[in-house]
Amino acid sequence: MPPRPLVALFLCLLANQSGTLVLSPILVEVARDFSVSTATAGQLRAVSGVTAGVTALLIGLLARRFGLKTLILGGLALMAVACALSAAAPTFAVLALAQAVLGIAVGILLSGGVAGVAEWAPREMRARTLSWALGGQASAWIVGMPVIGLVGEASWRYAWLAVPLAASVAAIVAASRLPARPPRPSSSGDLRMLARNREVAVWAVGELFAYSAWTGMLVFAGALLIETYGISLRLTGLVLGGAMLAYFPGTLLFRRWVDRRSRLLLVGLALAGALGVSLVGAVRPSAWATGLLLGGFVFVNAGRSIAGSSLGLDAARERQVAAMGVRTAATHFGYLIGAGVGGAALAAGGYAAVGGAFAVLYVLAAVPHVALVGLRRARVARAGAREAC
């Protein structure tokens, strides 16, 4: 794969993730500034989750009409507008509106960034390219969190300008140089055909539950550190950014097996995620110990992310852009579910309850894949019995 598309996809997902992560470390400050509870402020991710999910379901039609390059550039422009509006928001309602616009951008960028791997990378390079493109998301945490913590000490509003707005501008420059390919003929039947594909349906349900837990924990991780240990926003950014370093070894390790063992990885890593998120919620002796537990949690989810992307691209075949739209919808409807479940659990039983609730979601993410494997084995057994007769 030429370096130019790889850099563009990396920056696209960097901009996407930096836009979604900003709220995590500044959530407490946003709540204080607008005189709302932390649980209420956490619902801002639910707002962007809804618009991102709806946009993602339309991504196949949009890409076929405008072309993937044009769509990505439009998403980056919307991201820049949303970040500027968030920084200037005079009321909580205006900030919620900005998050709705941000969600549209995210729905485009995450779907387009992952689908771009199939668009611009040869099949034999897909696992390697996915690992590096998805690394853009981790880099947003590693680089962005310390910067957000630093500028957020002055005002949470500066965080929107220092990271996601700057990342969007850099990504626009890189994406403008992507090879332009003519849009394919529009089709309104992509989602219906994907829904009839049992492999895709099982994969999508699993992604929805897993991302509800993964993204939900990320929404509340910064608040957990600040409210449990009373540490500064700057130190919170450093802890979260340090934990995200585990994303890179996670993708590099698990990419070796995604071409042949994606479903097995999705089951095993979902169960490992359940254990990890339970420990993060319940075991909190110090900020750095929680940071280490978050690092293990990130490592597991890095492998689960690349395995889920690979399985979705393989299952969808000629409808890969639409399939990545389904994945993005699962991710951001997952934000909606995660923010809702996390907020309710936090109000009911604190952060230990949050960890327990997200652990249940991880277990539910493994169930569809286990059920599908069971159905296949039962079908094989019945076929063998008929042949024996």
pLDDT tens-digit profile of 40-59? 887 887 788 788 888 877 87
Which residue range forms the structural domain that includes residue 342? 3-178+188-388
CB 237 within 8 A of CB 152: yes
135 inside domain: yes
376 inside domain: yes
- Give the residue with greater pLDDT, 115 vs 213: 213
148 inside domain: yes
For residue 186, what pLDDT band results from cuts at 50, 70 and 90?
A: very low
H-helix or E-strand containing 234? helix 233-244
90 inside domain: yes
237 inside domain: yes
**pLDDT reading at 236 higher than 60:** yes
Single pTM value for the model: 0.73
For residue 295, what pLDDT band results from cuts at 50, 70 and 90?
A: very high
Residue 202's alpha-carbon distances to 3, 207, 218, 281, in angstroms, are 34, 9, 24, 28
> What distance in Å separates the CA atoms of residue 21 and residue 219, rounded to the nearest whole number?
8
Cα torsion through 347, 352, 358, 364, rounded to 10? -120
Chain-centre distance of CA 357, in angstroms? 19
**pLDDT reading at 359 higher than 90:** yes
183 inside domain: no
> What distance in Å separates the CA atoms of residue 289 and residue 21, rounded to the nearest whole number?
21
- Give the residue with greater pLDDT, 386 vs 109: 109
192 inside domain: yes
Question: What integer is the mean pLDDT of 340-369?
Answer: 93
Pick from 235, 236, 241: nearest CA to 224: 236
Burial profile 158-185: b = 16 or more Cβ within 10 angstroms, e = fewer: bbbbbbbbbbbeebbebbeebeeeebee
**pLDDT reading at 316 higher than 70:** no
> What distance in Å separates the CA atoms of residue 5 and residue 280, rounded to the nearest whole number?
37
Torsion sign over Cα 200, 117, 336, 39: positive
Question: Picking from 147-156, 164-173, 183-192, which range would have the lowest pLDDT averaged per residue?
Answer: 183-192
The rounded radius of gyration (Å) of the Cα atoms in the chain is 20
Q: What share of the chain has pLDDT > 90, as a percent? A: 28
219 inside domain: yes
What is the CATH number for 319? 1.20.1250.20
pLDDT value at position 188? 44
- Give the residue with greater pLDDT, 312 vs 267: 267
pLDDT value at position 233? 78
Beta carbons within 8 Å of 19's beta carbon, 6+ residues apart:
79, 82, 83, 102, 105, 106, 164, 167, 168
CB 146 within 8 A of CB 237: yes
What are 378's two structure tokens?
């039962």
pLDDT value at position 388? 64
- Provide the number of structural domains found in the chain: 1
CB 9 within 8 A of CB 171: no
